[in-house]
Structure 1
Amino acid sequence: MSTQGSSAPSSSGPSSALVADWYEQWIATYKVGAVQRVTLGKYTMALKRLREIAPDLRLADLDRMAYQRIINAYAVDHEKATVTDFHHCLKGALLDALDEGLLERDPTRKVVLKGKPPGKKKQKYLSVYELQSLLRVLKLDGEHNWDWCILIAAKTGLRFAEVLGLTPADFDFERQLLNVDKTWDYKGGGGFKPTKTGSSVRKVTIDWQMVGRLSVLTKDMPPDDPIFVPKDCTIYNSTVNGVLARRCKEAEVPVIGFHGLRHTHASMLLASGVSIASVSRRLGHASIDITQKVYLHVVKELESKDTDAIMRSMATLL
Structure 2
Amino acid sequence: MNDAVHEFRVLRENPVQKIKIPKQVDKSSKVAYFTRDQLERFLECVNTPMKNAKYQHSIQYYAFFTLMARTGLRIGETLALTWDDLDFDAKTLTKSKTLVYPLNSQPYLSTPKSKNSERTIKLDEITLKLMKRHRINQKEVCLMYKNYKPTKDNIIFHQHDGRWLRTNVVRDYFKAICKRADLPILSPHALRHSHAVHLLEAGVNIKYVSERLGHASVKVTADTYLHVTKKFEDDALSLYVKYMPS
In the superposition, the TM-score normalised over structure 1's length comes to 0.57
Distance 2:12 2:191 in 1: 48
CA drift at 1:313: 2.8
CA drift at 1:271: 0.5
Distance 1:176 1:62 in 2: 66
Q: Which runs of 5+ in 2 are unaligned?
A: 5-9, 24-28, 50-56, 140-149
> Do the aligned partners of 1:143 and 1:217 also contact (CA within 8 Å) in 2?
no
CA drift at 1:232: 8.0
* 1:111 is aligned to 2:19: yes
Distance 1:200 1:284 in 2: 4
* 1:204 is aligned to 2:121: yes
Q: Which runs of 5+ in 1 are unaligned?
A: 1-13, 15-58, 65-106, 116-120
> Do the aligned partners of 1:199 and 1:286 also contact (CA within 8 Å) in 2?
yes
Choose from 66, 71, 76 the match for 1:151. 66
CA drift at 1:169: 0.7
> Do the aligned partners of 2:83 and 2:156 also contact (CA within 8 Å) in 1?
yes
Residue type matched to 1:292 in 2? A
Choose from 197, 209, 215 the match for 1:285. 215
**Equivalent position of 2:132 in the other structure:** 215
CA drift at 1:160: 0.7
> Do the aligned partners of 1:170 and 1:180 also contact (CA within 8 Å) in 2?
yes
In the superposition, the TM-score normalised over structure 2's length comes to 0.73
**Equivalent position of 1:185 in the other structure:** 100
Instruction: Say which is worse superposed, 266-275 or 140-149, in terms of deviation.
Output: 140-149
> Do the aligned partners of 2:200 and 2:206 also contact (CA within 8 Å) in 1?
yes
Q: Greater CA radius of gyration, 1 or 2?
A: 1
- Paired residue secondary structure (1:297): coil
Gap change, CA 1:306 and 1:227, over 3 Å in 2: same
- Paired residue secondary structure (2:112): coil
Residue type matched to 2:122 in 1? T
Q: Which one has more relative contact order, counting CA pairs under 8 Å at least 6 apart?
A: 2
> Do the aligned partners of 1:169 and 1:224 also contact (CA within 8 Å) in 2?
no
- Paired residue secondary structure (1:218): helix
**Equivalent position of 2:85 in the other structure:** 170
> Do the aligned partners of 1:124 and 1:260 also contact (CA within 8 Å) in 2?
yes
**Equivalent position of 1:56 in the other structure:** none
**Equivalent position of 2:198 in the other structure:** 268
Distance 2:44 2:20 in 1: 49
Gap change, CA 1:312 and 1:245, over 3 Å in 2: same
Distance 1:140 1:191 in 2: 32
Distance 2:200 2:228 in 1: 7
* 1:130 is aligned to 2:38: yes
**Equivalent position of 1:160 in the other structure:** 75
CA drift at 1:114: 5.4
CA drift at 1:307: 2.6
Identity in percent = 28
CA drift at 1:132: 0.8
Aligned length: 211
Question: Residue by residue, what CA displacement relative to the aligned partner does 1:171-224 show, whole Å, maximum 9, x if unpaired?
Answer: 111121111111112236322221111111111111212212212323546684
Gap change, CA 1:137 and 1:232, over 3 Å in 2: closer
The within-5 A match list for 1:24-43 is none
Question: Residue by residue, what CA displacement relative to the aligned partner does 1:246-269 show, whole Å, maximum 9, x if unpaired?
Answer: 112222222211111100110000
CA drift at 1:129: 0.7
- Paired residue secondary structure (2:244): helix
> Do the aligned partners of 1:140 and 1:147 also contact (CA within 8 Å) in 2?
no
